[in-house]
Every structure is written in structure tokens, then in C-alpha cells.
Structure 1
């Protein structure tokens, strides 16, 4: 099937794609991934309005701990205050507008690297050198703009939209679904940031379906993946998910004996949660890992990649050795995923590319397209 004329209008192309029932569904049109106009609609209607995850609260445990991010063009920082509260604020100095902090770390104060204007951890201005001769300058009038920040089950979310519904309200069904895993009972042991040469939705969709595991991951986890045991139910408004059953060949993927919350097959069930727009969590009874995605243009994605293990395992004598082996495996899986998703983006840019029909194992991808269509169509309505 060659590209039709709606490819000149990616929002219209997605609307036509999303109008089909799942039993007739196709992959999203190429222009949805490659068009700058479509990305502009995503930034305005999704990333400037939805909740974006910056990582785990455990990385911000002590006063002064901070993490930086960029959300829809806005540099921001989330910091633990002296009062114990988490605050998100603009990461741009109010003097000559340099960005302030970088990466993750700990600081007693926020000091601008350009002229050393210094802010308290709550964003108020503490000091500004050589400003006494400016009659209009009043230190008390300066405070870094605040951004909404919420914690949910150990995850830290920020949004630029003051009217966005609380995270806990949007994700209450997820919380009920995985209550037996107790996500507060997991400790992050690694965090990395990466940039891959693919569209952010290609990587999101790659996570949302396990149809590719036996082939893309033939060198790592593919042999452990049984297509017939994958369950892909219809998604919800704010998320989709699917599940996989694992065996005890990877022991820390199983529920620990001290875990009495999970029973039967629950003790070996892995949830793959896609929390819109771009938080992707693999949650097993013993460990977790996640990706939080943000576009860097149509052809690149910024990835926040972290993970760790259930505290149920922390006192086992071989727990750390097992988790180190798991991290090595996850790194190898990432190499495979990067290769596959970058190939997909190169193919999407080809003149003769065209979307094929979806498998029943790609139900989450269909639901993701429905979500995207509902959001970006609002840009057309303005």
C-alpha cells in the first residue's frame, strides 16, 4: 500500500489511521514520526500539558539533592528542600538567563555559573554580587518560577500545566493493578541518560509490544519469551499494559519468599506498563527498570534509563551479584533495542515505506495511537 495524500497532513493521517477498529488496525503512518509539524503538535498538546517523569524519589532523598531535565523546551530542576519538600522550578537564572544546574547531584544552594547569583533551595534569591548600585534591584523580588511536582509510588512527576489532574487520580487504576508489587519497596541502583537516533514513539512502541522479543532479542532474552503466554488487554485512558510470565531461570524476577502479597502466577508475572505519554516500566516481583522519554527533534529521543531491585532481596547474600548480572543483561538488551529502533526510523524516512497490519500482540500500540490522536487533534481545533 503506497502512501496516500493524507501523508502531507500527518494529523489527518493519524486521525484516519485511528478511526479503524483494532481488528483492522495498521501501524501509524510514517509522517507521524518524521514530521516536524507533528512533533510541534506533540510538544504543545502533550509534553507541555501532561505529567513527565524525571525518575525515582530515592535519588532525591537528602536536602540539596537535585535532578535536572528539559520539558518541552523549558529547563527545570527538581530539588529536595531543607524542609524535606520536593520542589520543581525553572532552571534558568533570573539575571542574564543562563541555565543553572546540570545533571544530578547535591548542592547547598543553586549558584549561577555565569555571574554567581545564588538561590536558596526553595528558589528565593540569596545573594547577587555587585548589584548595590542598581537602584531598581530588590533581592526579595526574585524567585525562580515554580513548576508543579508530585510524587506517586516513588516516582517523581512534573508538569508545566497548572490545571493538570493529579497524578494519583490519573493512575489510580495502575496503583490498584500492581498493589501486590508495592512499588515503594523498590530501590533504584542505577540511572543513565542516553540519546538514540530514532523517534520517541518508535522506542515507546518497541517497549509496548513483546512481539519483537524472539527476533530482536535472539541473543539475550528472546529464548525466554513465549508469545502464547503474553496477555495484551485493551488499554485505559492514561496507560496501557501487557504481561509476560517468567520462569525461575532468573531468580530475582520471581517474588521473594518473604513476599506474601502475591500468589500463584502473580509471583512470576512481569508487568510492562506504558504510562502516557512516555514513562515505560518493566515491573517484576523482584526488580524493575524504566525508560522516561522526551523527543529531541523527529529523529532523536532523550532517554532517562534507571532500575533496581525489590527491597525484599536486599539482605540476600547473592542479591548484589545477581543484580549486577541483570544490569549486564539489560545493557545487552538495550544494544539490541537501539539497533532495531534506529533501523525502524531509517525505514520510516524511506519514500516507499508504508504501514502494515498489526498483530493481536500489538494491542498496546493501537491504544497508544488512540491516545496520540486524541491529544494532537486539539492542536487542529485551535
Structure 2
């Protein structure tokens, strides 16, 4: 029997109340495949999705491929230097015209050798001269909307979606001094598939409550849960954030407990005594220290799994430090220990959510970021449910 009914969606309102009154989302939001398909339509086919970084495309012809909401996509830099997001699907017989990443003069379909320029224009179609009413201009690779926000590339499959940048005004002030667009880092490894829902991943990465408990010890004690705060953002914001005070200046996750790369030069004294966690659901989460930024790009695959790309950014000159490799190894050792604890919890939470005893639990004040995510999600779930019920249905959107 379907869970998608008025009663289910009405029940989500309790997850958007003030943090000390709210309860968690129903377990089905994390485990049910029918709900996952609904969520794909509600979120991933209409929202801005992070696919990578602009510096991955330094030269004309550079490209990389991703899949979002089951759509194969090429992101490339054209001969003129602009960035394009294109469908990777050949307009002849639906073969994919590119895989992986690299540099290309053109995209050549390996099946029948239709050839597309870097901007998606069809420039070659062998043996098609006898085909009636064949128009090469109409057979270009479809272009997909994209925006670049502080160096992060976002795509949107919905041609009618509101632009991204104006909806991030509520986080601009808090990220301004980090200058994400100027940062650089090694290209991340290929995505890894993890056996838990993407929301479990996003929630854990922004949960101030568990930090002093799960991660208790010298690698994390200088960032106590009691110094977490969860500023409100405008109701229509495409992102939200968490701040967490630190017990000493320029704290970092390594054996020294302090930044080992150059501190971002524009940071204020206040910013140097806290960490920042920025979230642009449903696909990007940032852990912002004062010398490095850890970014996580999420791509759901099923109700119980998602692909995750993890990358690191820092000021460009840090990459030329003769001790760069040793410093990164020290950072990575600490981060891997902390992340290993998180991943173990994430996997067990997903198992618990499948239980008949999975609760709709209550929140601590240190879980304010979860409530902010709930507000973002439920507004979009209700909007999609209203669309499905048709124009005669009452409007039930919870926030403007």
C-alpha cells in the first residue's frame, strides 16, 4: 500500500516546528523506494545540484561527466572559454558521447561517430545525407542550465527554476571572507557509493549534538557541542549554516589542533575562533576551517544509498609548500579517524531506520541544523504533493 497520501504529508508539519518542539522525519523518508522516487521528482529534478568545481576545467576542451537524477551530463569548457553543461546523450540513438573526464577536441559518439563540438553543436553525422528532413542544427546536445557559486558548478534540470544566486543571499555574508572561488585543491577521487540515505549523510555532517560525544578526544574536544549555533535564514533560502565556536584560535583537525596551512587572509578575529558548516541541499555540504575547506558532493542512487565525492580546498600557495604532502598526511590521518566514526554511525542509523521500532524522535537544541533541513525539505515535498493532487488542491506550502 502506498505511503504517499494526505495523511503522510500532513504529518511532516511537526518536523518543521521550532527545534525544541519538532520531531524527526518519518523513517520512510530514508528507506522507502516509492518515497525515494517521489523525492527525486520533488527535489533532484527541480533544485540546483552541485556537480564539481570550475578549476576542474582550466583549459578549452577540459570536461568531466556526472549523472544527476538519472541524467548523464557533460560539463565542459568551450573553445571560447565559457563553461557549458550538456546532455551526454547522442541525439541519434541515445549512446553516451563521453565518459569520465579529460580533454577533448570534440565529443565523438563511439557507436556511429556522430561528432559534437564542445558547445554541443552537431558538426558531423556520417551517411545521413540521404535521410529525409534531417537538420543537424536541431540535433545538438541539449543544454542544461548551470550557475557557478564561489567556484562550485551547479546544474538544474528544470528550465523554469528560479536562479540560484539570489536565493543564497542569506549565507553570503558568512562565507564572504573565505573566498571559496580563489581556493584550490587536488582533484577528488571518483565518487564512492555508501549504503545509507543521502539525508543521513547531510544530517550527520551538520549535527552539533554528537560532536563532543561520538568524537570525544584530543582530535575534536576543542570544538565542543556547547558552542554550536544555528542562525535562521530567509524562508526561501537555498542554503543554511551552522557556526561552532572553538577553544583556541584557528583550530584544525590534526595532531597539532591548529591550522598547518596559511589561514585565509580576510578572516576576522571572530571568524578565526569558530568553524563554519554551510549546506546547499540537496547536494553540497561544506566543512569550513580557517585554512582548509572540506566539501562533500552528494548524489542519491536509491533510498538506501548515495554516491559521495569528497574534496579539499586551500589557498593556492599552500600546494607549493615543500611540506604539503606531509601536512596533508597529518590532516588526513585525523580526518579519516573522525570520518570513520561518522560513517560507522551513518550505516547503523540506516539499519535502525529500517526497523519497525524506528521512532520519530525529539531534538536537542544542539540539533538546530536538522530542523533547518526539515524546513527546506518539507516545503518542497508539500509543493510536489500539491502538484500531483492537481490545481484544485489547496495550497499547503508551509513557508513563503
What is the TM-score normalised by the length of structure 2?
Answer: 0.86
Aligned counterparts of 1:95 and 1:202: Cα–Cα separation in 2: 40
Aligned counterparts of 1:16 and 1:172: Cα–Cα separation in 2: 27
Name the structure 1 match of 2:89. Answer: 92
Match of 1:228 among 226, 229, 240: 226
Name the structure 2 match of 1:118. Answer: 115
Question: SS state of the match for residue 270, structure 2?
Answer: helix
Given the alignment of the two structures, is residue 284 of structure 1 paired with residue 289 of structure 2, yes or no? yes
Aligned counterparts of 1:292 and 1:10: Cα–Cα separation in 2: 29
Given the alignment of the two structures, is residue 309 of structure 1 paired with residue 314 of structure 2, yes or no? yes
Name the structure 1 match of 2:380. Answer: 375
Name the structure 1 match of 2:198. Answer: 200
Q: In the alignment, is the contact (CA less than 8 A) between 2:262 and 2:318 conserved in 1? A: no
Match of 2:143 among 141, 146, 163: 146
Name the structure 1 match of 2:362. Answer: 357
Aligned counterparts of 2:95 and 2:282: Cα–Cα separation in 1: 29
What is the TM-score normalised by the length of structure 1?
Answer: 0.90
Alignment of structure 1 residues 144-183 onto 2, 5 Å: 144-183=141-180
Match of 1:211 among 193, 209, 212: 209
Deviation by residue 1:200-257 (Cα, 9 ceiling, x = unmatched): 111111112132223433578443431222222334432221122344534336863x
Q: In the alignment, is the contact (CA less than 8 A) between 2:188 and 2:309 conserved in 1? A: yes
Aligned counterparts of 2:242 and 2:54: Cα–Cα separation in 1: 25
Match of 1:273 among 266, 274, 278: 278
Q: In the alignment, is the contact (CA less than 8 A) between 2:214 and 2:341 conserved in 1? A: yes
Name the structure 1 match of 2:334. Answer: 329
User: Which stretches in structure 1 are left out of the alignment for 5+ residues?
Assistant: none
Question: SS state of the match for residue 302, structure 2?
Answer: coil
Given the alignment of the two structures, is residue 73 of structure 1 paired with residue 70 of structure 2, yes or no? yes
Question: SS state of the match for residue 201, structure 1?
Answer: helix
Aligned counterparts of 1:96 and 1:232: Cα–Cα separation in 2: 50
Deviation by residue 1:61-96 (Cα, 9 ceiling, x = unmatched): 111111212222211111110100000111101111
